Amino acid sequence: MQRSDWSRIAHGDLEFMGPYDESSFERLFDGAALAAGARVLDLGCGNGALLRWLASRAPIDGTGVDLHPGMRPIPGVRLVAGDARSFPAEPESFDLVCSVGAVSGIARLGTLARPGGLVLLGDGYWRQAPGDAYLDALGATIDDMLDWHETLAIGAAHGLTLVKALPSSVEQWDAYEATWAANGERYAADHPGEPGLAEFLEWIRNGRRRYTELGGRDTLGFALLVFRNRHADP
């Protein structure tokens, strides 16, 4: 087992790799529907769940990029194995540019959306100021994330106007955290003696401890945000 396998194993058969689901995207895109044939780029697409959901609503011309993209075919979508951070993409050429999990920053996403196009960012934020013990366990500093109000304003400096923001609920977090931890424990029980297993279990249990004992449930938030590129066509 390699460290690069850990997240894939922990997420198991989860359709969405975070504290959100189809209902989150239904609420997020209500009133901001894409036209049929819209060009969509998802940087860090994982198993392609977001592109699959978008393609189920209307035909899209989609591209998903991930180091380990999903294998299930999606109508109208090309899945590319590669580094989303360096994937060559033509500026101002997409109707929707997505990065859920902050694989790419808001500045780059904004350059890829066409004038009037949309940007979807999924990123963490501080629901409250983190304590030192939590930061130590997370391996982070307080400067690694913004608070809620700063997060809402993240697009302004890049010519992006906020359309809608949707924070994950505590219930969504609880379900997500419990599921990926259980997946990890189940894998360990099914693969005794596998090289690297002890380190993997330590990672799983440290993550669970952060959430349940060190204040993570009240500290770490996640938000899906939709912006519009306000540089309109002439």
| Token pair of 230 as six digits | 């306000």
Residue 234 pLDDT grade (very low, low, confident, very high; cuts 50, 70, 90): very low
Residue 34: pLDDT above 90? no
| Token pair of 74 as six digits | 């999606």
E strand or H helix at 111:
helix 106-112
Query: Is the C-alpha dihedral spanning 13, 18, 24, 25 positive or negative?
Result: negative
- Interval 164-175 mean pLDDT: 96
DSSP code of residue 153: T
Task: Reduce the DSSP state of residue 213 to 3 states and report it.
Answer: coil
Residue 228: pLDDT above 60? yes
Q: What is the pLDDT of residues 86-136, one digit of tens each?
A: 999 999 999 999 999 867 889 999 999 999 999 999 999 999 999 999 999
- Quick one: which of 24, 21, 63, 58 has its CA closest to 42? 63
Task: Kindly report the pTM of this predicted structure.
Answer: 0.92
Instruction: Give the pLDDT confidence score for residue 101 in this predicted structure.
Output: 85
- Interval 68-82 mean pLDDT: 91
- Interval 137-145 mean pLDDT: 94
- What's the CA gap between 94 and 40, in Å, rounded? 6
Choice between 190 and 230, residue whose per-residue pLDDT is larger: 190
Q: Is 139 left (phi over 0), alpha (psi -120 to 50) or beta?
A: left
